[in-house]
Amino acid sequence: MACSSAGIKPHGYKCMSDLLLSVEALAATYNHAIRALSGVSLTVRRGEIVALLGANGAGKSTVLKAVSNLLYAQRGQITEGQIHFDGGAVTTISSADLVRRGLVPVLEGRHCFHSLTVEENLIVGAIGRDARRSEIASDLDRIYALFPGLKQRRKSLSGFTSGGEQQMTAIGRALMSRPRLLVLDEPSMGLAPLVVESIFRTLKQLNVSEGLSILVAEQNSTVALRFADRATVLENGRTVLGGSALELRQRADIKALYLGSPSESAARVSSSSNRAVA
């Protein structure tokens, strides 16, 4: 239902029809035994970039797999909570149909088909939406404009390209599916800072110029908070903090308490609590 434009709206008001993705009180396990998530909640509105932050092992990848309905592929189960994409319950929609509806994941690890060329990898993304030949050609031109380096390597086997080029190929393949929500898992992992900066600038360009919504899980909070609109912080599989990226970027305690390794985080939280008691 469309929201009315009449009347005075409170500061920060957003129409509920702007809501593209909602995750409510999500709990998940692996092998019906290992609890991975407990009470995770977040939202992504149309045209937003939302960062999912946390130390290694905080549960970021599990959230993104659940959002993409891919958790079952690693013997994972959603035990509580709800996930809705554009009003539909994600658990009732196959991962392939989610891609066709516009929720397109780029999983951790730069998953390219190493025996295919860069251009063949890109075309795979268009085949999933039954694109016509003319549409594929047009979309390839668009991807090469976004990532000029890929055009130079388009005939190279992906397995022989650099880590940065493989990440660009994986993102480009996802963009060939014409997503409305791009779900990215650790796009900066193992890449040089200049490559990371280039990738995030391109994503921000797509967000601004085309209104592409992005949910990105990142351990690199510094770069993620510079480009995101909002962020949610996870610790030990739970949502512990959320707010605007600007506000979180200005808080010196965020990185110290929540974005180190799990052992470092626990030690710092314990130290902070002891100081408070004293």
Q: What is the pLDDT of residues 153-200, one digit of tens each?
A: 999 999 999 999 999 999 999 999 999 999 999 999 989 999 999 999
| 135 and 80 part of one domain | no
Q: What is the pLDDT of residue 259?
A: 63
Please compute the mean of the pLDDT values over residues 31-52 and round it to a whole number.
96
Task: Return the bridge partners of 44, or none.
Answer: 21
How far apart, in whole angstroms, are the C-alpha atoms of residue 244 and residue 265?
22
| 263 and 194 part of one domain | yes
Residue 161 lies in a domain: yes
| 85 and 220 part of one domain | yes
| 85 and 184 part of one domain | yes
Which of 154, 177, 200 delimits the end of a domain?
177
Q: What is the largest CA-CA distance in the chain?
A: 69
Which of 147, 177, 207 delimits the end of a domain?
177
Q: 257 is written with which tokens?
A: 């308490």
| 83 and 202 part of one domain | yes
* Domain total in the chain: 2
How far apart, in whole angstroms, are the C-alpha atoms of residue 84 and residue 21?
6
Residue 221 lies in a domain: yes
| 36 and 145 part of one domain | no
Residue 5 lies in a domain: no
Could you list the residue range(s) of the whole structural domain that residue 27 is in? 19-102+179-277
Q: What is the pLDDT of residue 258?
A: 66
| 266 and 207 part of one domain | yes
- Would you place residue 127 in the very low, low, confident or very high pLDDT band (cuts 50, 70, 90)? confident
pLDDT higher at 105 or 132: 105
The pLDDT mean for the chain works out to 87
Contact 175, 125 (CB under 8 A): yes
Please compute the mean of the pLDDT values over residues 218-241 and round it to a whole number.
94
Number of neighbours of residue 9 by Cβ within 10 angstroms: 12
Q: Is residue 255's pLDDT more than 90?
A: no
Contact 224, 218 (CB under 8 A): yes
Q: What is the pLDDT of residue 163?
A: 93
Q: What is the pLDDT of residue 128?
A: 76
Residue 260 lies in a domain: yes
| 58 and 194 part of one domain | yes
Q: What is the pLDDT of residue 49?
A: 98
To the nearest whole percent, how much of the chain has pLDDT over 70?
Answer: 86
| 141 and 251 part of one domain | no
Q: pTM value? A: 0.86
How far apart, in whole angstroms, are the C-alpha atoms of residue 61 and residue 27?
13
How far apart, in whole angstroms, are the C-alpha atoms of residue 172 and residue 181?
14
Provide the sign of the torsion angle of the four alpha carbons 101, 102, 103, 106, taken in this order.
positive
Please compute the mean of the pLDDT values over residues 216-235 and round it to a whole number.
94
Please compute the mean of the pLDDT values over residues 134-147 and round it to a whole number.
96
Q: What is the pLDDT of residue 50?
A: 98
Q: Is residue 7's pLDDT more than 70?
A: no
| 185 and 92 part of one domain | yes
| CA 232 centroid distance within chain | 12
| 93 and 197 part of one domain | yes
Q: Is residue 92's pLDDT more than 90?
A: yes
181-185 and 213-218 beta bridge pairing: parallel
| 81 and 208 part of one domain | yes
In a 10 Å sphere around its CB, with 0-12 CB exposed, 13-18 middle and 19+ buried, how is residue 187 labelled?
A: buried
- Would you place residue 201 in the very low, low, confident or very high pLDDT band (cuts 50, 70, 90)? very high
Contact 184, 106 (CB under 8 A): yes
Q: What is the pLDDT of residue 108?
A: 86
